[in-house]
Amino acid sequence: MAISPDVLATALQELMPNYSELFVQWHPVLEKLVNKGNLSRETLQGPWREFAVVTDGPGDVTQVLTGSEVIAGGRRQNAVRGNTYAPRLIYAFDVPGKDLAEANGEMDLAKILKNYPELALSDFHERIADQLATGNGNAVGGFLTLNGDATYNPDGAARQGPFRFLTPAAQSAAGQPLRFGLDSNTTPGWINQYGQITSFAVDGKSTMRRVYYACSRQGKTLGPVDLLLGDEDSYLNYIEDLDDQVRVSKVEGDRAPPNVRQGTKFLDADFYLEDSINPALFNGGAGRNGVIYMMKTGTWHAYTLGHDANRETKGDFAVRGPFRIPEQDLWRYEIVLMMGMHTTQLRANGVIEGGSIP
């Protein structure tokens, strides 16, 4: 018996939540955000999300010597507002009516799911991972990139990735580009920590420790840095330097296959090899010799937009369709993602280059 497009759509609707959850569990950044309750579904008043960045304390201190001192009070306005947009990305794929007509039973349905939706979703996931790591995701250039030497375009205007390969002093110099709508020259503390390794055998771990503690001292109530993402050579140099001290950690869950991604510990953080970090894709000299992102994920937030699953969808890798393509024997299905990400404390995060040098 042939499989109808609606039967395939029903199977997709049942499987897509698991597929999407697998991506969240597979990618360490989103997995951490979910565990911390920092991934939400939003209802915005406009096309962007605003967030507050507090640059200093709201009051003042008075020392009392005699008891007659006037206590300095008042309220200092030390909060500035950043903003972020959620790009709307739609991955479309077409299933021939001939394939549906020739299908027969559950086994053929499983093959169609393998050949079309699963490959489509895997491709979509890889593009998002590439974009986040380097800003080089194919056709998903509106999604956030961590790479400060690249731009992303969520709303029609290019924005700079948050992690700059510059010292904090250089980031605060005039002329630096906006990150999440904020300028580090006019927003105190709107900088990331930075380190450069000259040779991993010489100063690799010491540079990592220095940047780790520089990040961890910021936003102290949120704990230390808890996530590192590194390119393959930087990661393997760290493993080699540890020798027999390696401790393995995993990203896993009820629906995730075992050993879907393995990492190791660096102090109190999980350090994962990120295949999508390709140093050759970083502009100029920065990042060409290895990249390690250090993230305090408690300072990061992600959100999706959308409410009606049958219309605009909920924007979380949701499936929509089928739609018959006029004058063709094809049925179109769409995977919809509308997700934004941002940090409220950039100074609690950092980047290191040079880790691939032995």
Q: What is the pLDDT of residues 117-139, one digit of tens each?
A: 888 888 999 999 999 999 999 99
pTM: predicted TM-score of the whole model, two decimal places: 0.89
Which positions ≥6 away from 350 have C-beta within 8 Å?
163, 192, 193, 194, 195, 211, 212, 214, 215, 225, 293, 294
Looking at 94-108, 168-182, 203-217, which range is the least confident one? 94-108
Q: For residue 256, name the pLDDT band (cuts at 50, 70, 90).
A: very low
The predicted model gives 182-205 an average pLDDT of 94
CA–CA distance from 252 to each of 11, 18, 354 (Å)? 24, 13, 30
Phi and psi torsions of 76, nearest 5°: -95, 130
The predicted model gives 160-184 an average pLDDT of 91
Mean pLDDT score of the chain, rounded to an integer?
Answer: 86
The predicted structure's pLDDT at residue 235: 96
CA–CA distance from 307 to each of 34, 151, 316, 332 (Å)? 19, 29, 10, 22
Q: For residue 243, name the pLDDT band (cuts at 50, 70, 90).
A: confident
The predicted model gives 266-283 an average pLDDT of 92
The 10s digit of each residue's pLDDT in 293-306 is: 999 999 999 999 88
Q: Is the peptide bond before 322 cis (omega within 30 degrees of 0)?
A: yes
The predicted structure's pLDDT at residue 246: 56
Question: Which residue in 13, 142, 36, 28 sits closest to 84, CA to CA?
Answer: 142
The predicted structure's pLDDT at residue 308: 78
